[in-house]
Structure 1
């Protein structure tokens, strides 16, 4: 099975969010060593599918909303 770069990055983003913390996209990029612009595009897709919640503003960030075990 071939895993695309986008799928690999999405899994790494989910791994960073798995502990339940709210992280900014910059935090995720630093933890997982990912490019900022690509992470934001993937986060928007994960948000649209209901897996991740994105909060904007000074106290903003991303938080996992789905159960990864399912």
Structure 2
């Protein structure tokens, strides 16, 4: 299941992706207000995203945030893995943090694991092939893209 933290991260990133001026920075207060995200929680999320190279940040009076890479280069899968750790529904189906179940006799023949690996692969296929730019196109097609950032 997608954590609230990952959901907030995606919403903040999509808002930042709306910015057409590659140099303009968006204040954390504006992101928090528009996306209805608690500011302190958002601050921690944005620091983490900056640390992983998804955001550029500038401190001070003229500070704020913007994407560090083009929106088309940031997939939902990348963001969710950064925030939540893995996409697998159970630890033994994880590609990068495999951990066998305590009660499992043989993960290689486990039918539950077999199915959960398929779920993981299907989930990764969707999330890794959809980017922030795709989300923007969806927002535009539904008419929910903000006209400006003057809140």
1:1-70 correspondence runs (5 A) = 2-20=1-19, 21-70=24-73
Where structure 2 has 5 or more consecutive residues not aligned to the other structure, the ranges are: 74-151
TM-score of the aligned structures, taking structure 1 as reference length: 0.91
* Secondary structure of the corresponding residue to residue 37 of structure 2: coil
CA distance in 2, matches of 1:25, 1:59: 12
* Count of aligned positions: 69
Give 2:140's aligned residue. Answer: none
CA distance in 2, matches of 1:53, 1:68: 13
Structure of higher CA gyration radius: 2
* Secondary structure of the corresponding residue to residue 26 of structure 2: coil
Question: Shift of the alpha carbon at 1:62?
Answer: 0.5
Structure 1: which 4+ aligned runs deviate by more than 6 Å? Answer: none
* Secondary structure of the corresponding residue to residue 11 of structure 1: helix
TM-score of the aligned structures, taking structure 2 as reference length: 0.44
Task: Choose between structure 1 and 2: higher strand proportion.
Answer: 1
